[in-house]
Amino acid sequence: MVSLSSYLIISMILFVTGITVMIGRKSLVAILLGVELVMNAAALNFVAYSRYMTDNLDGHVFSLFIIVIAAAEAAVGLAIVIRFFQIKETIHVDEATQLRN
């Protein structure tokens, strides 16, 4: 039987990769990709704990809500990216300086 800690290790790798992508990449779309990875890591943890630690299905419900929220976040985030590209002609993060100072 697959143990709980193997799921936790996979989720941890997903989370760390997502954080690395969020910090290291230059493109706004790549940062949104990192956010998706982090959300998937959290949802995977919820389902794994729901299977191994409890008898109820509350973790599945939380995962479903995470999926819904990720869909909403992706829609709004990509709309902002497209608007930013209309204004600045690029999606480089360092060009987003309008609110500086």
Partner 1 sequence: MFVQILFGLSALLTVGCAIALAATKNIMHSCVFLLGTLLGVAGLYATLGADFVATAQIMVYVGGVVILMLFAVMLTGGKDFVSKAQNLLGLAPTMGNKWTYSLAGLVSLVFILTNVKLISSIVKTAPAKTFTNEMPSTVSQLGHLLIKDHVLAFELSSVLLLGALIGAAIIARPKKNQ
How far from 5 is each of 35, 46, 49, CA to CA, in Å? Answer: 23, 13, 10
In the complex with partner 1, the residue whose CB is nearer, 72 or 99, is: 72
The CB-of-35 to partner 1 minimum distance in angstroms stands at: 11
The CB-of-99 to partner 1 minimum distance in angstroms stands at: 14
Residue 69 neighbours by CB under 8 Å, 6+ apart: 39
How far from 23 is each of 2, 3, 4, 46, 68, CA to CA, in Å? Answer: 32, 31, 29, 25, 24
**How many helices (H) and strands (E) in the chain?**
3, 0
In the complex with partner 1, the residue whose CB is nearer, 23 or 99, is: 23
The CB-of-88 to partner 1 minimum distance in angstroms stands at: 10
The CB-of-69 to partner 1 minimum distance in angstroms stands at: 7
